[in-house]
Amino acid sequence: MEKIIDLKRIETILGTMIACADENGICLLEFSDRKALPTELKSISRYYNANIIQGENPHFTTLEKELTEYFEGKRSIFTVPLSPVGTAFQKKVWEILQGIPYGSTRSYQEQADILGNPKSVRAVANANGLNKISIIIPCHRVIGSNGQLTGYGGGIWRKQKLLELEKAILF
């Protein structure tokens, strides 16, 4: 039997997002104008040897409710189950990302230190960039050690808006 990954478009105040989910949880949440989106969809399809088809999934109900609450400033923690696609190292980095509290920021260096490998800054930054579940795995909370809003797949302006929404104090 062939595996199916469900896909849905979700409208947010920062633009249209594309969500994908399997039976275990959300495996993608990206802004629809992200350049890497076609590549990410292909990698999920390959990883699961599955077809991605527009359709409903019980996880979308939770996701949409929690995203709405987040954008209204009423939710700081997500409970929707995730099913991230990546290497063991990437998953570890994404786990650490999820540990950054709402309204806080960390540098790539601090992320590498928490990982227990201070020299892995570049690998950590790379894994951050490959995160396919934006907002819930909050890569927008990672900034350059100089306080700069460095690269964000959804666009620097969105990163800024997300941090403003969370009232993060940028140093």
List residues bridging with 133 in a β-sheet: 29
| Global confidence as pTM | 0.93
20 in catalytic set? no
Residue pair 140/131 in contact by the 8 Å Cβ criterion: no
Q: Mean pLDDT, to the nearest integer, of 107-130?
A: 92
Angle value at C-alpha 80, between 62 and 157, nearest 5 degrees: 90
**Closest C-alpha to 125, from 115, 135, 133, 83:** 115
Average predicted confidence (pLDDT) for the chain: 92
135, 136, 139, 142: the active-site residue: 139
Q: Mean pLDDT, to the nearest integer, of 158-167?
A: 92
Residue type, 48: Y
Q: What is the DSSP letter of 147?
A: S
